[in-house]
Amino acid sequence: MEKEAIDAAVLAGSVSAADLSLVGLFLRADVVVKAVLLVLILASFWCWAIIVEKILRLRRLVVQADDFEESFWSGGSLEDLYDRIGGQPDHPMAFLFAAAMREWRRSTAGGAGNERTLHAGIQDRIGQVMQLTMNREVENLERYLGFLATVGSTAPFIGLFGTVWGIMNSFQAIALTKNTSLAVVAPGIAEALFATALGLVAAIPAVVAYNKFSTDILRYANRLESFAGEFSAILSRQLDEHRQAN
């Protein structure tokens, strides 16, 4: 009984002597596990940088779109609005408006809207310009979403690889020391679990952010599409008036 008590005390001292903090686990980890942990840490930092940037940017775009639509529907002249912002549009809706107005001015210069066929051609060109501009701006908004999706789908498996490698190290330690005590097994198991946890820490925010941003960008793209349709109808009506006047 006394010998068992002594062995238990020695075992407890050995376990407590091992540094099982996060930094300690990383420093004493195998080189492969360290590489896995570094990859997951870097991926997590990059994901959070993308998340913060997307949140701030989408909020700013919504505010800018609200301000622009207020000016657009205020009843003022579209020519004056274009002269004011056409040279330096700073958000997708302004880019869309500026591209359409630029094509409108080029197409109607010199009385190009006198013929019905030219009228249809102008409408087609303006619609194409707005569609291309909208696709380019939405594509720009979707930049780096693929990275979030990749991290969200692969980080758990990368962490699982580190987990398997850590467990293999634990079994090798047991085989070399021929000792199955907790002091021998615990460090390797802790490294393995650390890799698993870090994989989930990187993956969960990435998946949540990807789903949220995909929804927000789709909603904003629908808003741009609605604006393009309304603006196209206004330009078409002005083309009709211009043609009838001539």
Q: How many domains does the chain have?
A: 1
The CA distance from 184 to 172, in Å, is: 10
pLDDT of residue 157: 94
Rg (CA), the chain: 31
pLDDT of residue 227: 92
Q: What is the reported pTM?
A: 0.79
Divide the 246 residues of the chain into consecutive groups of 10 and give the mean pLDDT of each group. Answer: 41 47 68 87 95 96 93 84 83 90 76 55 83 92 94 94 83 72 69 86 95 95 92 80 63
pLDDT of residue 190: 75
pLDDT of residue 234: 85
pLDDT of residue 236: 79
pLDDT of residue 55: 96
> By CB neighbour count within 10 A (0-12 exposed, 13-18 middle, 19+ buried), where does 147 fall?
middle
- Lookup: tokens for 234: 């206004």
pLDDT of residue 140: 92
Domain residue limits at 241:
2-245
- Taking Cα atoms as reference points, which of 238, 236, 242, 235 lies closest to residue 110? 242
| Residues 221, 225, 230, 236, Cα dihedral to 10° | 150
pLDDT of residue 85: 84
pLDDT of residue 153: 94
